Amino acid sequence: MTNKYAVITIDGPTASGKGTVAHRVAKHLGFHYLDSGALYRLTALMAQRKNISLDDEASIAVLARALPCRFVHGHVMLEDDDVTDDVRAEAIGVAASRIAVLPEVRKALVDLQLSFRNAPGLVADGRDMGSVIFPDASLKIFLTASAEARASRRYKQLIEKGISANMEDLVKDLMERDARDSTRAAAPLKPASGAIILDTSEITAEQAVNQVLEWYAEAQESKPSQ
């Protein structure tokens, strides 16, 4: 049974650093990595490419059920197309947040997310990994940071890519997404039962990674012997 494989879930709001932390933790442990948020971004990107309205729940759910995606060495692949940068575009992020509230779309992506749980283990980041998808996870982390800190990180990322950005607009956008994600009917954004809260506002990604690895080691040591 696949549930014997360890899972670390790292949930949190947009730009909290969960993707960076999860990817580094997975690499350190030699685990598989699941960027669940990318699945929604990929679905939104496919909907955009096929000119499907973001309000067309049934059609988007069909796309989600057969999403041909892979995560390869930090790259997001859609079939044979490297869409790593495409899915990080602000417009796609907004679209992903919109379709994430659609119950049929979320249902369509559940089985796909569960399929990533393989030996030797999995690190999954998102918004409901610990609360909905992997409630039996070995370790649950809820990564958070102030809207200002998250906007600052997003601003630097965009500027480095040569994309113009406005701090006030970024803060406003993040706060709107937080409100939308935390009040939605389907799997609202909130810490999972038993999750450890880690605020990254004042710490580096490396410090956050080390803290998660330390907690995971402690969790493994406290496991009852088989």
Binding site feature residues for ATP: 12-20
Which residues share a beta bridge with 75?
72
On whether the CB atoms of residues 165 and 217 are closer than 8 A, the answer is no
Angle at 150 between CA 23 and CA 91, to 5 degrees: 85
Angle at 29 between CA 26 and CA 35, to 5 degrees: 10
H-run or E-run covering 112 = helix 103-114
What is the 3 state secondary structure string of 65-109?
HCCCEEEECCEEEECCEECCCHHHCHHHHHHHHHHCCCHHHHHHH
Residue positions in the annotated binding site? 12-20
Contacts of 4 (CB under 8 A, 6+ apart): none
Q: How many helical (H) and strand (E) elements, i.e. helices and strands, does the chain have? A: 8, 8
- Going by the DSSP 8-state scheme, the letter that residue 223 receives in this structure is S
Of 50, 18, 174, 44, which Cα lies nearest the Cα of 100? 44
Distance CA 83, CA 81 (A): 6
